Chains A and B, each alone.
Chain A
Amino acid sequence: MRKSAIVSVVLLAALVAFGPVALAQEPGLKVPLETPGPGWRTCPHCENNAHVADDRKKANVDTRTFNPHDISGVWGNGGPQFDALVPLDFNTVPPLTPYGQKLLDANKSDSPQWNSKDPWNICDPLGWPRDFTFSYGMEFIQLPDRVLQFFERGHTWRTIWTDGRKLPPDPPIQRFYGYAVGRWEGDTFVVESNGFDDRTWVTRYELANPDPQDPLHKPGTGGAGNRFGFKYLGGFPHSDEMRVEERYKRLNYGLLQATLTVIDPKVYTAPWTTTATQALRPNAEIGEDFCVSSDSIDFTNRITIPTLSTK
């Protein structure tokens, strides 16, 4: 009897995921904008797409004059949904090296229903460049000798030094967000970084099961999976020798183009480059979105564990 109890407890480690729900339709401007108070702005994740579009229209983002060397501001495309600031394209990921494949296989989830190996599950830092592929919004603040890049998800930042220093050739301590230096090449802000802790993922890797009859089915990658779970769950790895290059170019007042390249010959046989644009969020302020262990544990106890299903 006691042995069964122990086995049952251990089996709890095989989790059932819990499904997200999302609204049937875009709620629109009828949903009042919530802010902390007078003079305060909403967070990028806290306003729906209708309000985002309305704010941008009021700020004349499409026609306003701009300084191409000014990339400051809050940027992010989405409203309440997750915003991959740069969605690393699963269709263009280069072939992995044998070592890279070994790491990818090790990251594969134990369960088709949730991403069991995801380090974010236990509130490990998202790291770079994953925070750029899985965020709610980011903010650039330019100072004379550095550019600060803040991320709402994880409530963290990284410092991009623009004082002329070079990247450390062999940093003594690996960092989750690496070491970064930046410079201008014409109207393009180029950032190079290295010195990464290899425990983070470049990005998660999720494929929904093909179930076109399921209204929640999303073709291609990611999404909420469906009632049959995911076809593949895991994360793309990187080594501690990874380098990342980003190129930011302000296309107009309201649009910032970002090209992100992962260079990691130990894991990927070729550089992995993705380009995307982010929208200026003139009426948003970076909020606070920590991964809180105690909140997660409480949620696990209230929802995850009781919802475990063997059906």
Chain B
Amino acid sequence: MLRRMFMIAVLVVIVVLPMLTSPVLAHHGNAAWSSNEITLKGAVVDYVWRNPHVLVVWSGKDDSGKVVQWTGQLLSPSSMMARAAMNKNTLKAGDEIIAIVRPAKSGAPNCTIDELKKADGTTLVKMGGTAE
């Protein structure tokens, strides 16, 4: 019985998960993200320079000293090129960054990035304002 229920769960995941893809770059609602910004610091773990959104993954310590890995989204690669001169070499694993983000309301360590800076405070990209 338990094995059957587990198989059903796996089947649902296999069938449902691909259907949850959303490659559309704009016209998603903003309801998933908090309205309030927070500032996070850490070292880049992964830099995904691909559609549908550029992703930056970094690890940093929260206020309690616990290491948390965050995943933040930007726009598509071509949009980031056009607006902020980002490219596939802008970030690499180990780079220290400061990220001003709006985190997910769900509490997951996901966010949408409003501003990204190097450790020395140099701005890499500043977002926000009129939506696409």
Contacts and interface: CB of A to CB of B under 8 A. Distances in A.
B19 A21 contact: no
Interface in A7-47: 9-10, 12-13, 15-25, 27, 31-32, 34, 42-43, 45-47
B16 to A, nearest CB: 5
Q: Chain A's interface: helix, strand, loop or mixed, by majority?
A: loop
A225 B20 contact: no
B128 interface: yes
Interface of B: 2, 5-6, 8-9, 12-13, 16-33, 35, 48, 50-53, 55, 71, 73-76, 78-79, 81-85, 87, 102, 104-106, 108-110, 112-114, 126-132
A278 interface: no
A226 B25 contact: no
Most buried by A among B21, B81, B129, B130: B21
B79 A306 contact: no
Given A10-B12, A115-B27, A20 B106 contact: no
A6 B52 contact: no
A18 B112 contact: yes
Contacts of A58: none
Contacts of B29: 17, 19, 112-114, 224-227, 229-230
B82 A229 contact: no
Given A32-B85, A309-B105, A17 B32 contact: yes
A229 B32 CA distance: 9
Given A13-B20, A27-B83, A46-B82, A19 B32 contact: yes
A106 interface: no
A299 interface: yes
A189 interface: no
B78 A80 contact: yes
Nearest to B125: A23
